Amino acid sequence: MTNALNATHDPKLKSWVNSANEAGCDFPIQNLPFGRFRPAGSKEGFRIGVAIGDQVLDLKAAGLVDTDDMNVLLAQSAAERQALRAALSEGLREGSAKQAEWSRALHAQSAVELTVPCRIGDYTDFYTSVHHATTVGKQFRPDNPLLPNYKWVPIGYHGRASSIGVSGQRFKRPQGQTKAPDAAVPSFGPSKRLDYELELGWFIAQGNAQGEPISMDEAEEHLFGVTLFNDWSARDIQGWEYQPLGPFLSKNFASTVSPWLVTTDALAPFRAAFQRPTDDPQPLPYLDSEKNRSKGAISIELEVLLQTARMREAGESPVQLSRTNSARAAYWTPAQLIAHHTVNGCNLQPGDLLGSGTLSGPEATEAGSLMELTSGGKKPIVLPNGEQRTYLEDGDTLIMRGWCERAGAVRIGLGEVSGTVLAAG
């Protein structure tokens, strides 16, 4: 069971990698997230690594894998993945006989280059926050903000995998067609309403054969883990193009993912009950299970920060724009996304990415986009240095962070994902 507690979650565990034992560390021994790295400045191929404290353990050099292909690991069975986690935990804990050998397979994170955590074949973006869907719907459709299918169907669309980059991504402001409400015809040019979307990225482990749906009881066996995910959005382009077939150029110019893939096994201590309001439609049978009701939600704290070019030049730290929790924000669970995605016979593959969609909580301070925070640009945010923002400007760096914590468990982090907007070119 991917949500079962075991010895790897023991809060008393310490690592011989001292930085992993520091309070507030994102990557203690209870986490052990996977990523791909190579020495900074080199042209070597990327290798599979696991973050431990401020270090990266080279899994091949440590004798734990015989491949540099992360998708091979994703394709393993849940039992094989759990066995690898157990071996990592045993070898990295204090007093381990592996310390002398594995210490030679460590690299400082400050000395490596990271890339997307695996080869992403297909990318589907969902719309799992009812709070986001309602708030945005009011701006696009004031008389009908939440469409009648929303509470019955996990809404999603197929996105573009080729433009997904790793944290630190720098991209040019997108250009496209927009149409002002009072204009007779559309115009072409750089987007003036560039936005971010606070999301989680759920990565598929083993896939399924075409025509063979994944049931709710099996869904999490096919889920490897989670990253932070920013699906940048050009709201003005989106407003003109999204009907009748949904987002296109407003979304596919760039998306940014964090480099460390936190496994579902590491998330086990942070499970939560999944409950719908009693007066809402309850999920249809193919989207329901006792396991999902009791432990289908996952509690991840999420925050969004902004650093403008002027702040950066002045040496000022990023400022928080919002903070929310994934369990409070999401109307659908990861298992439901997988079950719905495959119920028609669609075949998922190892490394496929399912975006959660913008995660906004019920309060105004929990909004996961500027479109919500500024009421569609009508209420500018005033930053501590006096600058104002309705949407993102050139030179802005947007940062998202995530972590899990609760009493009786060791805090684990997802790290961060950052991206910087460049002038249109």
By annotation, the residues acting in catalysis are 132
- Contact, 339 vs 215, CB < 8 A? yes
Q: Angle at the Cα of 401 (from 201 to 150), degrees rounded to 5?
A: 45
Alpha-carbon distance of 36 to 68, in angstroms, equals 9
First to last CA, the chain: 49
Q: Is the C-alpha dihedral spanning 116, 121, 127, 129 positive or negative? A: negative
What gap in Å lies between CA 415 and CA 400, rounded to an integer? 9
Query: Which residues are CB-neighbours of 243 under 8 A, at least 6 positions away?
Result: none
Spatial CA neighbour of 313 closest among 369, 387, 230: 387
With tokens 């990253």, the residue in question is: 227
Q: Which of 220, 408, 412, 400 has the alpha carbon at shortest distance from 297?
A: 220
Closest CA to 85 of 321, 284, 263, 301: 263
Helical spans, DSSP H, in 349-414: 370-373
DSSP 3-state of 111: helix
Type of residue found at 9: H
